[in-house]
């Protein structure tokens, strides 16, 4: 499980890849959360916008979701990942309504609680989603990309 996750804006994959060693830092507009797997979160969000439902998907369905987030840098055995959020998810987050973000946050929270129990993140997942949606709107407006960095 990733300990620190930073969702951030970057103009392109090359710029996002350059964050690999130290993370995005203050130079990039970002939203941070902890104790969440970024790839499964991104896949779950993408799945939600393709077929909205208040019910959390079973783990098997989530694991089989395609397209899975793409690595911006090749994965190494050091635990650091830089992923690009799919463009269609970025567009969906950018135009998401308050009700959609609330439903997705409830669903995401329920899935994490069922999997992690008391070890679940103590972050406000709705606040995380709202922040990522604001980043997505900026990415769409600037023709940039939305990424996650995790360790």
Each residue's pLDDT tens digit, 92-107: 999 999 999 999 999 9
Is the Cβ–Cβ distance between 84 and 13 less than 8 Å? yes
* pTM > 0.85: yes
Pairwise pLDDT comparison (115 vs 133), residue with the higher score: 133
pLDDT band at 3 (very low <50, low <70, confident <90, very high): confident
Torsion of CA 101, 38, 1, 118, to 10 degrees: 0
- Answer whether residue 37 shows pLDDT above 90: no
Torsion of CA 52, 49, 149, 130, to 10 degrees: -80
With tokens 């079973």, the residue in question is 58
């Amino acid at each position: 499980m990733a300990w620190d996750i930073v969702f951030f804006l970057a103009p392109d994959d090359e710029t996002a890849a350059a964050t690999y060693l130290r993370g995005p830092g203050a130079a990039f507009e970002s939203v941070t959360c902890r104790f969440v797997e970024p790839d499964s979160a991104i896949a779950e969000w993408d799945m939600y916008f393709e077929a909205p439902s208040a019910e959390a998907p079973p783990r098997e369905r989530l694991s089989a979701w395609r397209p899975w987030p793409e690595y911006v840098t090749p994965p190494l055995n050091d635990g650091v990942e830089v992923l690009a959020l799919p463009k269609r998810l970025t567009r969906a987050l950018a135009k998401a309504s308050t009700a959609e973000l609330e439903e997705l946050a409830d669903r995401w929270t329920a899935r994490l609680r069922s999997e992690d129990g008391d070890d679940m993140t103590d972050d406000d997942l709705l606040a995380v989603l709202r922040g990522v949606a604001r980043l997505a709107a900026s990415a769409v407006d600037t023709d940039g990309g939305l990424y996650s960095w995790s360790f």
